[in-house]
Amino acid sequence: MTLRLTELLRRGARPGPRITEVICEHNSERPRVLELVTGGASVHHDVGDGVRLVRDVLDVQVVDESGHRCGRVGEVLLERDGGELYVTAVETGVRPVLRRCHLGWIWGGAPTRLIPWGSLQPRPGRVHALISPPVPKRGRRYHRVLRARRRAPS
């Protein structure tokens, strides 16, 4: 069963205090969620260098190894497996942002990109970019067309 982090934060997993932070393992292809932090509570367990998904991942710019921007993380996808939650991927683009604002109906075909968690290199603590594998470059012909459009009219 797939869950979205922002929906989990909005509705909560159970009645009572709202979930404000989700902490997962740091070094793993499919990290397990270690703790759900509710309200203003501090972290009870020793999570070591766990990644805080709200603080460290959500709305952070994804940059590939060659320095090209791949978009901001608009959503973190979680999967429930046997009573445990695991982080599977992040979603970038306009679609997750519209969905978070309850405006997904405006543009159903809004661009989005799923990046598997295993291809990211998140770091604990607030960072400005997550690193992903390089994005395939566009063909030379595409760049020539863009250059032709930018020229001033004669």
Per-residue pLDDT of the chain (154 residues; tens, 9 = 90+): 888 988 888 876 566 778 888 888 877 788 899 888 887 665 555 566 788 888 888 888 888 777 778 888 899 999 998 889 999 999 988 888 888 888 878 887 888 888 888 888 776 666 656 677 665 555 444 444 444 444 455 5
Distance of CA 3 to the CA centre of its chain: 13
pTM value surpassing 0.85: no
Question: How, if at all, do strands 84-93 and 112-116 pair?
Answer: antiparallel
Determine the 3-state secondary structure of 5 from DSSP: helix
